[in-house]
Structure 1
Amino acid sequence: MNWLDLYEQARASEEVAAGYYNRNVRVRTGEGMVNVRIPIEAADSMDVRLWTEQDVLTCIRPYVSQAPELRHTSTSPRFQVHHFIDGSVLDSFSPRGSAVPEHVIGDVVAVMEQLARIPQEKAPVIPNGWPAPGEVGGFGRRLALLTQEVYDTHLEAYAEIFDDFGIPAEPLAVLEPLWDELTSRPFVVLHSDLHRKNMIVSGGQTWFLDWELALWGDPLYELGIHFHKMDYPADQRAEVLRRWHECLPAAATAGPPADLDLYLAHERVKSAIVDTIRYSKQLVGANSATRDYLTDRLARKLNAARPVWGVPPDMTQGRIAQTLAPWVERQSWTP
């Protein structure tokens, strides 16, 4: 197969599914459909990155049953080719906040359990300076450091907006002393982005996509970021938690509920900062329906974070739209 020709076909295609970091293009070949995955060069880096996705997919292949098969990778130009999974994105029929099919819960816990079985020597190389296994406080601080860096990087452009939205100058300070109180747990391979847009349901099974943010770290973080992004109904969240405790090793699930609450608090703070930046950019040139959708979602995210800082969750869609309007107008007229 001529992989470069495949790449050029993908670049020319208008049928693109884009996330924040990659463009995904379905391309037909003589051997069937494949997914060509092309990095977005100008993407803002908002997440901790530890490994390349191709190294992660190679690592998990013997352990994780429902992940894409890596067919080819290229460093110049940068792209990957994955086998194409024919199915429905979970978010398309079960959006955030709604109940998911029962089998999805079992599949989610199963992939967490499969990842927890990967020994450290089979994981991609862990860079020097990464927290040692069990140093969950250091792991949590590494997450918080990136969130603070995102805030600092964009502060000049967003200072007035951050202030109006109630985001403090040191948004992670309230969490800093709590990282030392986390229970020590053995580190495992984490997907770190298990949400509805990264799941494809096909034939009663759930396939898990987008492994670019995989980490070596606290298994409880996997659960925390998953709960934050899925926004399950209460009964399904409780069921995921119950099965997680049953299926993973006891050492991986040790610790009080406050540990999970701390990871959730961090994700709410991070979301308030990151999505203020991302959504404001998406508002430039958006139609009225998209503007309403984005400002409503941002109000929800800010209101989830504000209690972490000790302020009431009283942000409204109208206030957000009013605050962002001058910024969006300036961007629209920037040459």
Structure 2
Amino acid sequence: MFSPQPRGARQSLVRLFAEARRGGRDGLVVSGHHNTNRIAHLRQPLAFLLGAESGKVLAKFRTPLPTVEVVPRIWRRESEVLRAVAAHVGDVPRCLADFDTWSLHGYLDGRALADENPTGQLGSARLLELAEFFAGLAGVPAGELPPLPEDWPREGDSRGFLAWLARFAEQDVHQSNRPRFGRLFDAVGIPSDAVDRFMNAVPRLTERPFSLLHTDVHRANVVVVSGPEAEHLSVIDWELALYGDPLHDLATHLVRMNYDKTEQDLMTLMWTDAMRRAGHEDMTDGMDADLPVYLGFEYAQSVFPDVMRAALALPGHPGEADLTEAAERVARALRRAREPLGLTEKVPDIQEVSEALLKWHAEDGTTH
């Protein structure tokens, strides 16, 4: 008599056929800072094992990239976060299989805002939709999320949460990368006590209830999806989710979306209104004083990854155009961090930054 395959056997088969499909040559390969993704249709027998129709379902075969770690990750499995989010926030990617070292996700077929509108204004309708997304995220029950690290700040301790982020920036980003990038940091004028400078200037923060945070809602992670009646926005890539002060999520969003001043102000007002309408008015307490602090932190901590990414992006034999492009990225990061870090020295000009990058590149033996 036929007996169903045990769950472990089915999972082994899913992994076997998913590995084969991941290594295929068809589909589209898209890479970002953290992952490389092969977008391809599910085929038999993998489609059968996942309960999908062969050739009809697009999937994302998601493989982490070896990279400089510059962002905190408190939950190893994105799938556990997605499971909690899906029940409360609508259209998010579904994790089809999690193999620990890589994962398989349903693919939301749409257009990334980064492709459709890389720098321009979004318009009030889309701003409102994003504001309501954040309000929905604030409603995800903490009890449905994966366990938090043992050293996590107590509920509502906004100052403790910011201090945790600052320790990560100092210990895991700055100090851990100083052996390789320290001379470059010094050459472009980043003080060795940059994070301490910022934290020493932080005033008392208002305590606010914590919530689930995405922390990386930028144009490449917002997808315009077609629906039966109208288009809607969906937010992808939840691997950097945190649990903490919701003003941090708003601040990272405002900075990374590259809004102009008008839409940044409008988005802030819409976020505040959406949170209050959703019953989360206490999450907006003290935001007039505290949002600038979180914005400043985003600019301050970004100088480390921005400088490292600019340096690492240089080709083996960089030309003048390569160096100028990288130097402009670094100089922009330095200008934005100038006030939060209390920098008194003049920001190096493009030529000075280019020379510093070229010297670092020549001395670094791992980029060639």
Counterpart of 1:143, as a letter, is L
Distance 2:328 2:23 in 1: 33
Cα distance, 1:240–1:313 mapped onto 2, change above 3 Å? farther
Distance apart, 1:128 and its partner CA: 1.6
Cα distance, 1:216–1:169 mapped onto 2, change above 3 Å? same
Distance apart, 1:157 and its partner CA: 2.4
Q: Deviations over 1:83-140 (max 9, x none)?
A: 11111111123224x3124432122112111110112112221222211110111100
Residue of structure 2 aligned with 1:107, choices 126, 129, 132: 129
Aligned to 1:6: 18
Query: 1:261-272, aligned counterparts within 5 Å?
Result: 261-272=292-303
Q: Does 1:222 align with 2:249?
A: yes
Residue of structure 2 aligned with 1:20, choices 33, 46, 49: 33
* Alpha carbons 1:140, 1:179 under 8 Å: kept: no
Counterpart of 2:72, as a letter, is V
Cα distance, 1:333–1:80 mapped onto 2, change above 3 Å? closer
Q: Alignment partner of 1:175: what SS?
A: helix
Aligned to 1:305: 337
Distance apart, 1:12 and its partner CA: 4.6
Distance apart, 1:329 and its partner CA: 2.5
Q: Does 1:135 align with 2:157?
A: yes
Cα distance, 1:158–1:86 mapped onto 2, change above 3 Å? same
Aligned to 2:143: 121
* Alpha carbons 1:137, 1:180 under 8 Å: kept: no
Q: Deviations over 1:258-299 (max 9, x none)?
A: 311111111111111111112101113356655443322221
Distance 1:192 1:95 in 2: 19
Distance 1:294 1:87 in 2: 31
Q: Does 1:257 align with 2:288?
A: yes
Distance apart, 1:7 and its partner CA: 2.8
Aligned to 1:183: 206
Q: Alignment partner of 2:352: what SS?
A: helix
* Alpha carbons 1:178, 1:262 under 8 Å: kept: no
Structure 1 range deviating more: 280-289 or 134-143: 280-289
* Alpha carbons 2:187, 2:356 under 8 Å: kept: yes
Q: Alignment partner of 1:182: what SS?
A: coil
Q: Deviations over 1:9-50 (max 9, x none)?
A: 32454842112221111011214211111112x222211111
Q: Does 1:296 align with 2:321?
A: no
Say how many residue pairs are matched. Answer: 331
Counterpart of 2:327, as a letter, is T
Counterpart of 1:252, as a letter, is M
Distance 2:20 2:99 in 1: 13
TM-score (structure 1 length as normaliser): 0.91
Q: Does 1:211 align with 2:244?
A: no
* Alpha carbons 1:24, 1:36 under 8 Å: kept: yes
Distance 1:256 1:125 in 2: 28
Distance 2:115 2:367 in 1: 35
Distance 1:323 1:132 in 2: 42
Distance 1:217 1:106 in 2: 23
Distance 2:306 2:164 in 1: 20
Cα distance, 1:22–1:16 mapped onto 2, change above 3 Å? same
Aligned to 1:199: 222
Q: Which runs of 5 or more residues in structure 1 are unaligned?
A: none
Counterpart of 1:227, as a letter, is L
* Alpha carbons 2:326, 2:354 under 8 Å: kept: no
* Alpha carbons 1:224, 1:264 under 8 Å: kept: yes
* Alpha carbons 2:189, 2:348 under 8 Å: kept: no
Distance 1:74 1:287 in 2: 41
Q: Deviations over 1:162-213 (max 9, x none)?
A: 1222211111112223556111000000001111111111222111111001
TM-score (structure 2 length as normaliser): 0.84
Distance 2:158 2:86 in 1: 26
Cα RMSD, aligned residues only: 2.1
Counterpart of 2:84, as a letter, is C
Residue of structure 2 aligned with 1:278, choices 299, 309, 312: 309
Counterpart of 1:170, as a letter, is D
Q: Alignment partner of 1:293: what SS?
A: helix
Compare CA radii of gyration and give the structure with the larger one: 2
Cα distance, 1:312–1:108 mapped onto 2, change above 3 Å? farther
Higher relative contact order (CA 8 A, sep 6+): 1
